[in-house]
Amino acid sequence: MYHNPGCGTSRRVPGMLRERGIEPVVVEYLKTPPGAEALAELIRRMGIAPRDLRRKEAAHAALGLDRPDVTDAAVIAAMAADPVLIERPVVAGPAGVGLCRPAERVWEALPA
């Protein structure tokens, strides 16, 4: 689980997992950011575009990431360089990888 303890949704997910007897492996991605290759693989496994994993904040506009001509590789590189740009939480499990917003989407990444 890629987690930001400063995010309310991200804080909910570990508790939800523990209630079902699952102890998550938690990566505080702001302290230990995934590299560009790891991000690209997560995005590929989610079946989304890199832009779908970025936070919609002023920082994106300031970096020009909201322009339609910006490549997927550039978006991934920006998120790897500044992980605050990554939306959270992201959970990787046996059933897949998912952006858990809302938190209940965590079950999509885990077996039933």
Q: How far apart are CA 108 and CA 59, in angstroms?
A: 30
Q: Is 100 part of the annotated catalytic residue set?
A: no
Residue 61's pLDDT is 81
Catalytic residue among 4, 5, 7, 49: 7
40-92 pLDDT, tens per residue? 999 999 999 998 887 777 787 888 888 889 999 999 999 999 999 999 999 99
Q: How far apart are CA 94 and CA 66, in angstroms?
A: 32
Domain of 40: which CATH number? 3.40.30.10
For residue 57, what are its two tokens? 């904040």
Q: Which residues lie across from 90 on neighbouring strands?
A: 2, 99
Closest CA to 23 of 14, 32, 11: 14
Angle of helix 36-46 relative to helix 72-81, nearest 10 degrees? 120
Q: Report the domain count for the chain.
A: 1
Would you say the pTM of this structure is higher than 0.75? yes
Domain that holds residue 101: 2-109
